[in-house]
Amino acid sequence: MADYQDIRGLRVKYLSADPSTATAGEVWYNSTSGTLKASLMVGAWSSGGAASNNTSSALSGTQTAAIAGFGYDYGGPGQSTTISEEYNGASWTTGGVGNTTRYATNQSGPQTATMALGGLDGPPPYALSDSAEDYNGTGWTTVANLPAARGYSLAITGPSAAILATGGAENISGDPIDTTFEFSSGAWTTSTVYPTSLNGIGAVGTQTAAFFYGGFSEGTGATVTAATNDYNGTAYSAETSLPTASRNWGGRSGTQTACIAACGSPGPGSPNPFSNTTLTWDGSAWATSAATTANPYNDATNANMSGTNTASLIAKTGSPRLNTEEYNLAVGTQTLTTS
């Protein structure tokens, strides 16, 4: 059987203390503690800057250049809003004002090329929205409406000029739909239907290389799903299912082959209706990473996230949404044991 030297071409170092710097995959024996150790990539959450507005905003961009837009204003008159805020990696500042008052929208794209799509128009009585607006880093501009109104967290991914959207609700009761839309050259076209009618699906990637996971079927007999699917620009194909309780309305960031999924709801009947679990996806398998630090109950229902699988920002929605958290993947030390 091959040993570490055969595999890595290196001997295991015999050290009296852990090295101050190490690269991922390095292994050594600590003679002081009598333990075998390795340096691995480890994910961790930490507190980010506090938002100025208590709204259930959608989120897009990166960890150091994000935009949170629209949403339900818990700190104001209790209705949907056109408020937006920008995040610079440390603090939030006021962004441009949107054109259509709505909540339960979703966003995708960098801070300077984001699209906000669908949702519920307000104030009450609410109606499903077909609105689409682009953010250029300064203000929001109305673009071509969706071919049909969609609410309740339509799944959306890609930059504003090449958006892929699927799922969502087809009526105010929240009944899900499976229609897929693509946006390019300023216009929408209809593509292959999603394998299941769902809303609250997690979505990452681009219009021609996307990854979708989880989701929720509302109405009578509502269920959540652990199913995942790739999209290649033409068709969907099934991928490895989520390993734990399935997710609806969870946060997501990254690409088709390198993403993280955090928070969300495991579905009806769960003893803890909201989750602070973080899962990572490498294109073929799921793994568990560090949980978010805050108590997720009533503040992570619609956890929105932006960034990459190594540097993400999460803004938990519901009440309250003043706190944000940052996820970073870095080299860390782990003791190796046998079992």
The predicted-structure confidence for 267-316, as pLDDT tens digits, reads as follows 655 555 677 888 999 999 999 999 887 654 444 445 678 999 999 998 86
Contacts of 13 (CB under 8 A, 6+ apart): 19, 27, 28, 29
Output the pLDDT for position 97.
97
Output the pLDDT for position 200.
85
Output the pLDDT for position 110.
96
Is pLDDT at 230 greater than 90 in this prediction? yes
Are the C-beta atoms of 253 and 304 separated by less than 8 Å? no
Arithmetic mean of pLDDT over the chain: 85
- DSSP for 139-159 reads -EEE-PPPSS-BBS--EEES-
Q: What are phi and psi of 106, to 5 degrees?
A: -135, 155
- Percentage of residues of the chain with pLDDT beyond 70: 85
Q: What residue ranges define each of the domains in the chain, with the CATH number in brackets?
A: 4-42+332-336 (no CATH), 52-254 (2.120.10.80)
- Distance from C-alpha of 63 to C-alpha of 311, rounded to nearest angstrom: 6
Is pLDDT at 320 greater than 60 in this prediction? no
Degrees, nearest 5: CA angle 222-55-96: 125
Phi-psi group of 40: left, alpha or beta (phi > 0 → left; psi -120 to 50 → alpha; rest → beta): beta
Q: Which two tokens stand for residue 318?
A: 């519901």
Please give the helix or strand (H or E) that residue 4 lies within, else none. Answer: helix 4-8
Q: Which of 123-127, 154-158, 195-199, 201-205 has the lowest mean pLDDT?
A: 123-127
Other beta carbons less than 10 A from residue 315's beta carbon: 28
Q: What is the mean pLDDT of residues 132-161?
A: 94
Q: Which of 104-108, 111-115, 322-326 has the lowest mean pLDDT?
A: 322-326
Q: What is the mean pLDDT of residues 208-237?
A: 88
Please give the helix or strand (H or E) that residue 252 lies within, else none. Answer: strand 251-255
Higher pLDDT, 128 or 332: 128
Is pLDDT at 73 greater than 90 in this prediction? no
Q: Which of 199-203, 238-242, 322-326 has the lowest mean pLDDT?
A: 322-326
Output the pLDDT for position 300.
42
Q: At residue 26, what is the residue type?
A: E
Q: Which two tokens stand for residue 199?
A: 């809303």
Q: Which of 7-11, 40-44, 176-180, 182-186 has the lowest mean pLDDT?
A: 7-11
- DSSP for 218-251 reads -STT-EE---EEEE-SS-EEEEPPPSSS--BS-E
Of 227, 286, 224, the closest CA to residue 260 belongs to 286
Q: What is the mean pLDDT of residues 216-220?
A: 69
Whether omega before 123 lies within 30 degrees of 0, making that bond cis, reads: yes
First to last CA, the chain: 19
